[in-house]
Amino acid sequence: MEEKDNIKNLPGGMDRKNPFSVPEGYFDSFPAKLAERLQKEHSASVPLKSRLWETIRPQLALAAAITAFAVIGYLGFRSFMITDDQWLSDEMITGYIEYYHYEFSEPYLLGLLEEDDFYFEDYPADAGWAEIDDPDLYIDYLYQEEVDLYLIMTEF
Amino acid sequence: MQEHSDSELLSLFRDAGRKSYAFNMIVRKYQERLYWHIRKMVIVHDDADDLLQNCFMKAWKGLDNFRGESQLYTWLYRIATNEALSFLKEKKRKYFLPVVDAEAELSSNLEGDEYFDGDELQLKLQKAILCLPEKQRLVFNMRYFDEMKYEDMAQILDTSVGALKASYHHAAKKIEHMIKGD
């Protein structure tokens, strides 16, 4: 056999003895070491999506709890600090709007001319500006007082 | 411990309840042969240990798809061979080692290896083997030390018997020349 001859051609004394060795007990412990690594890899091979969810879930829960706490705290603080009398009523808002709307209107100017005596006797004192929004009432008033409308219009 | 045949081990492995047991048996049966195969290529024990683990990890993952077209041990040998060759290739690439430096490094590892028990002649032989190209070295080790059949080697290395015989012939001549000329 050619290959056998080749082997024999190598210098004498060179047998096929394995010159390498291993740490004591290496082959006895290797299967257990490998099993441990397989177990670790198996744990790590859980799908990435699942691992990601497992990782961020407690953080998301914490963030949600903090947010809920902040919102509840803010609402509680606000309801505690702002009393009822600080809220604007619908009437007040209407009054403001009406006031500024009529600030330079004819009734307002007439009111200024008449100074304090602007309200009609028929109207309650707390009626507010919204209650005198009827032009007929002003006209009646001017007629009763014999005010010259033309004069008012030309003067103001 | 009773040693099962490869076909028995494969049947056991396909039984989901005994998969781990069967794989443990396969590891026990082939660990030494594969270790020495790898060790002769990479020389250092720690590297051989890592590569042997990698080899069995790949076997664990691939064994479900093993259809028995080749023998189990030639399949395992092929994985081990690929691991060893990839390791050496990566080492050269990582450290930008030219071929000569890579051989010199392996020789140096051999001399400083606490797990090398050979005498001076064996050291000389190993150094000569390390001067061979990697694939020739592989062929020489498998034939000279493991006394593997050319037919099995052909399956593992995916080459023809004739090419292997020629490769071994060249390797043996080179080693003879190196030792005599030393």
A13 to chain B: which residues are within 8 Å by CB?
121
Which of B1, B53, B106, B177 to mutate to probe the A interface, most A CBs <10 Å? B53
- pLDDT at residue B61 tops 80: yes
Q: Is A117 found in the same domain as A65?
A: no
**Same domain, yes or no: A95 and A138:** yes
CA atoms within 13 A on the CB side of B147: 5
Number of A/B CB contacts below 8 angstroms equals 86
Nearest CA in chain B to A26: B49
Query: What pLDDT score does B123 carry?
Result: 87
CA B179 – CA B182 distance, rounded (Å): 5
Q: What is the mean pLDDT of residues B168-173?
A: 92
Residues of B in contact with A30 (CB under 8 A): 27, 31, 49, 52
Structure tokens, A100: 């500024």
Residues A96 and A151 grouped into a single domain: yes
In 3D space, the residue among B36, B34, B42 whose CA is nearest the CA of residue B76 turns out to be B34
Distance in Å, alpha carbon of A5 to nearest chain B alpha carbon = 10
Which of the four CATH numbers 3.40.50.620, 1.10.1420.10, 1.10.10.10, 1.20.58.220 does domain B117-182 have? 1.10.10.10
Q: Is residue A98 located within the same domain as residue A151?
A: yes
Is residue A12 within 8 A of residue B125, CB to CB? The reply is no
Give A60-88 as a DSSP string. Answer: HHHHHHHHHHHHHHHHHHHHHHS-GGGSP
- Shared domain for A77 and A119, answered yes or no, is no
Mean pLDDT of the B12-29 span? 91
- From the candidates B9, B19, B60, which should be mutated to test the interface with A, based on the most A CB atoms within 10 A? B60
User: For A112-148, b where at least 16 C-beta lie within 10 A, e where not — what string?
Assistant: eeeeeeeeeeeeeeeebbeebeeeeebeebeeeeeee
Confidence (pLDDT) at A55: 74
pLDDT confidence of residue A98: 66
Query: What ipTM, to 2 d.p.?
Result: 0.84
Please tell me the total count of domains within chain A. Answer: 2
Q: Where does residue A2 fall: left (phi above 0), alpha (psi -120 to 50 degrees), or beta otherwise?
A: alpha
Contact check, Cβ <8 Å, A2/B60: no
Task: Identify the domain containing residue A57 by its residue range.
Answer: 28-81
Q: What is the pLDDT of residue A3?
A: 45
Calculate mean pLDDT across residues B13-24: 89
The sign of the CA dihedral A79, A85, A89, A94 is: negative
* Residue B114 three-state SS: coil
Residue A20 contacts B, CB cutoff 8 Å? yes
Q: Are A104 and A66 part of one and the same domain?
A: no
**Position A5 pLDDT exceeds 90:** no
Region B43-59: mean pLDDT is: 95
Regarding whether A107 and A60 lie in a shared domain, the answer is no
Asked if B165's CB is within 8 angstroms of A19's CB, the reply is no
User: Is residue A40 in a domain?
Assistant: yes
Residue of chain A nearest B59, judged by CA positions: A38
Once rounded to an integer, what is the mean pLDDT over residues B138-153? 91
**Where a domain ends, among A46, A81, A116?**
A81
User: Of B44, B58, B64, which Cα lies nearest the Cα of B108?
Assistant: B44
Per-residue confidence (pLDDT) for residue A2, from 0 to 100: 45
CB contact under 8 A, A20 and B39: yes
In a domain, A6, yes or no: no
All CATH 1.10.10.10 domain ranges of chain B, comma separated, are 117-182
Give the Cα separation of A16 and B175 in Å (integer).
Answer: 14
CATH number for the domain whose boundaries are B1-96: 1.10.1740.10
Partner-chain residue, chosen from B20, B150, B168, that has the shortest CB–CB distance to A6: B168
Is A84's pLDDT higher than 70? no
Query: Best residue in A20, A26, A36, A41 to probe B by mutation, most B CBs within 10 Å?
Result: A20
Same domain, yes or no: A103 and A140: yes
Please state the pTM of the whole predicted model. 0.62
Is residue A118, in this structure, part of any structural domain at all? yes
| Model confidence at B89: pLDDT above 80 | yes
Within 8 A of B122 by CB-CB distance, chain A residues are: 14, 17, 19
**Which of A33-37, A148-152, B160-164 is least confident?**
A148-152
Confidence of residue B110 (pLDDT cuts 50, 70, 90): confident
